[in-house]
Amino acid sequence: MAIFSTAEAKVLLPRNIADGMIKETRSLSTVAKLSGREPMKFGETDHIVFNDFPKAEFVEEGADKASTSGGFGSVTAKPHKAQVTMRFNEEVQWASEDYQLNIFSELASAGQEALSRGLDLGVYHRINPLTGSVITAWDNYVGATTKRVEIATADADADVRTAAGLLINSAPSWGVNGIAIDPKFAWALANLQTKNADGSPSGSQRYPNLGLGTDITSFASIPAAQGNTVSGTPEAVDTKVRAILGDFQNGIRWGIQRELPVELIRFGDPDGQGDLKRKNQIALRLEVVYGWYVFADRFAVIEDKVA
């Protein structure tokens, strides 16, 4: 049976393409590189959080055991649906199955980058990638943190240390196990030079392992991921954020709540580009449902001064 001749409104991507697409989505997203995906059921997902970690008690032989101190609450990861709709000439329905399979591959290739960038833009900035606008109804995102460092000197590494200090010296103290870096900030770090005794630049790279600042995977022994989603560009106006530092391992709880269905649309105007029948086109719509919760106080933002 040809892929596009099914009477079903929705079909699943072939498993090998779907699995590869999810893998690529994770590899392209800075959030996914630094923060592990976890299984999630569809809908709002509750996570238990200890407000005060329980304390163990040493008990002598024959002595009474006391009630363990500590309290817990819960936070809720909410679903966020992302979609990509692309049009094709309707003649692809009559092509061979091999050619139709190639269409699915092209859809996956184009969609995986859009969906991975969408994860970053939503988690970091609550930005709608298609419009570049802020989704004001979302109040849970990394950029809501009050721990912020404004870049004031040419020593970008000093800004990283200052941001780390805001987290490490806070109460409670949060771990620093990841940093997401905008390419502009990566270049600033890579361009730093060691100094001579008189304070003048030596001409030698301060961090030679950074090369020209491309594809940075670690900095100061901290796992790093580089991408322009940190600044929100080009989908939106530059947010001026240059780096995000913090507890990526535990401070972001995210997952993919639903498989990747493809909806075949033959009629109507599903994306505002004109009637499909009139234009002799069909549309394929790819959707994924993310779920996430962000502990914003576990992150610090390094940003340029806003004019």
How much is the pLDDT for 2?
43
What's the chain's average pLDDT? 78
pLDDT band at 57, cuts 50/70/90? Answer: low
Mean pLDDT of 66-85: 63
Nearest to 287 by CA among 2, 4, 9: 9
How much is the pLDDT for 282?
76
For residue range 203-232, list pLDDT tens digits in order: 899 999 998 888 899 999 999 999 999 999
Domain boundaries, given as residue ranges, for the chain: 3-48+73-303
Mean pLDDT of 245-266: 80
State the Cα–Cα distance between residues 179 and 175, nearest whole angstrom. 12
Asked whether the beta carbons of 253 and 38 are under 8 A apart, the reply is yes
**Integer CA distances (angstroms), 272 to 86, 136, 266, in order:** 12, 24, 14
- Cβ burial 146-185 (10 Å sphere, 16+ → b, else e): ebebebeeeebeebbebbbebbeeeeeebebbbbbbbbbb
Residues 6+ apart with CB under 8 A from 213: 183, 186, 187, 188, 189, 190, 191
Q: What is the pTM of this model?
A: 0.75
Asked whether the beta carbons of 245 and 133 are under 8 A apart, the reply is no
pLDDT at 20 over 80: no
Asked whether the beta carbons of 4 and 264 are under 8 A apart, the reply is yes
Mean pLDDT of 36-40: 60
State the Cα–Cα distance between residues 305 and 307, nearest whole angstrom. 6
- β-bridge mates for residue 30, sequence order: none
Residues 6+ apart with CB under 8 A from 179: 34, 160, 219, 222, 223, 224, 225, 243, 244, 245
Query: What are the structure tokens assigned to 62, written together?
Result: 């024959």
Q: What percent of the chain has pLDDT over 90?
A: 36
Phi, psi of 253 (to 5 degrees): -110, 110
In 3-state terms, what secondary structure has residue 47? strand
State the Cα–Cα distance between residues 304 and 232, nearest whole angstrom. 13
How much is the pLDDT for 176?
94
How much is the pLDDT for 81?
78
How much is the pLDDT for 307?
67
How much is the pLDDT for 149?
96
For residue range 8-18, list pLDDT tens digits in order: 444 445 555 55
State the Cα–Cα distance between residues 39 and 291, nearest whole angstrom. 10
Mean pLDDT of 19-40: 66
Q: What percent of the chain has pLDDT over 70?
A: 70
Report the range of poorest mean pLDDT among 141-145, 159-163, 275-279.
Answer: 275-279
pLDDT band at 74, cuts 50/70/90? Answer: very low
How much is the pLDDT for 97?
62
State the Cα–Cα distance between residues 266 and 32, nearest whole angstrom. 34
How much is the pLDDT for 14?
53
State the Cα–Cα distance between residues 96 and 101, nearest whole angstrom. 9
Query: What are the structure tokens assigned to 220, written together?
Result: 């100061």
pLDDT at 75 over 60: no
Q: Which CATH architecture has domain 3-48+73-303?
A: Alpha-Beta Complex (3.90)
For residue range 112-136, list pLDDT tens digits in order: 778 788 889 999 999 999 899 999 9
Find which of 73-77, 166-170, 266-270 is predicted with most confidence, using mean pLDDT: 166-170
Q: Return the higher-pLDDT residue of 266 and 167.
A: 167
Phi, psi of 67 (to 5 degrees): -70, 135
In 3-state terms, what secondary structure has residue 28? helix
The secondary structure of residue 210, as a DSSP letter, is G
In 3-state terms, what secondary structure has residue 25? helix
Asked whether the beta carbons of 185 and 210 are under 8 A apart, the reply is no
C-beta neighbour count of 273 within 10 angstroms:
12
Mean pLDDT of 87-109: 65
How much is the pLDDT for 155?
92
